[in-house]
Amino acid sequence: DEIVAYAEEGLEDPFWRYYLRHRNDQGVLYDLYQRHPEFQMLAKNPQVLNTLTGVLGEDIFLYENSLVYKPSGRANAVPWHQDFLSRPDEPMKYNAWITLDPVTEANGTLKVIPGSHRQGYLPWKRIKGETHHDRVLEEYVKEEDAVYVEMAAGDALIFDARLLHSSDECHSDDPRRAYRISYQGFD
């Protein structure tokens, strides 16, 4: 709550020269692992890391991390996308989406299309100025196959970065915050 409130007030960020700038206007606070030590524990969760060794090998590193939330009173839908789709030649990445609050369809949980990662990266477009600026072209999204991933606080969803995912516009009074960590193997 304190971290989000500080970002929402637009107060000085002492780390702005070293890490990605927060996008609190769109509900994304970047590099919390580096800025706030309490998030290091979540990123180093042994269950998450043990799961990832099966697909990434023993040598795993943290590629990117952010707190994602639904800012109240603002447009907060996230369009269909695949993470890192503008960088298809980079090594494969997996995400851990760890919920800090219960997330439901009513407060804007993730929507995913199961199995969509098997298609590889899909054709996309860029919308400048938005946090989720790289989006899959609508004709490649089978919305009828989408499922909502409702989770309790503290649950972790681990998924291939190529999984199609989004979230609906939401104006619930219930908070919806999750810590998103992307991992990559050294091999």
CA distance 119 to 151: 26
The dihedral sign for the CA sequence 66, 164, 148, 173: positive
Hunting for tokens 């919390």 — which residue is that?
Answer: 32
| Cβ-Cβ contacts under 8 Å for 124 (sequence gap 6 or more) | 81, 82, 85, 86, 134, 135, 136, 137
User: What's the pTM value of the predicted model, to 2 decimals?
Assistant: 0.91
- Give the C-alpha separation, 156 to 95, whole Å: 10
From CA 91, how far away is CA 95, in angstroms rounded?
13
Structure tokens at 50: 């043990």
**Model pLDDT for residues 58-83, shown as the tens digit of each residue:** 999 999 999 999 877 777 889 999 99
**pLDDT confidence of residue 74:** 77
DSSP single-letter state for residue 54: H
- Residue in 129, 170, 176 with CA at minimum distance from that of residue 151: 176
Cβ proximity of 133 and 26 under 8 Å: no
Residue type for 70, please? K
Angstrom distance (rounded) from CA 148 to CA 130:
23
Q: In whole angstroms, what separates CA 14 from the centre of its chain? A: 23
Tell me the pLDDT of the chain (187 aa) as tens digits.
888 888 888 878 888 888 888 877 778 899 999 999 999 999 999 999 999 999 999 999 999 999 999 877 777 889 999 999 999 999 999 999 999 999 999 999 999 999 999 999 999 999 987 767 899 999 999 999 999 999 999 999 999 999 999 999 888 888 899 999 999 998 7
115-133: buried (b, 16+ CB within 10 Å) or exposed (e) per residue?
ebbeeeebebeeeeeeebe
Model confidence over 83-111: pLDDT tens digits? 999 999 999 999 999 999 999 999 999 99
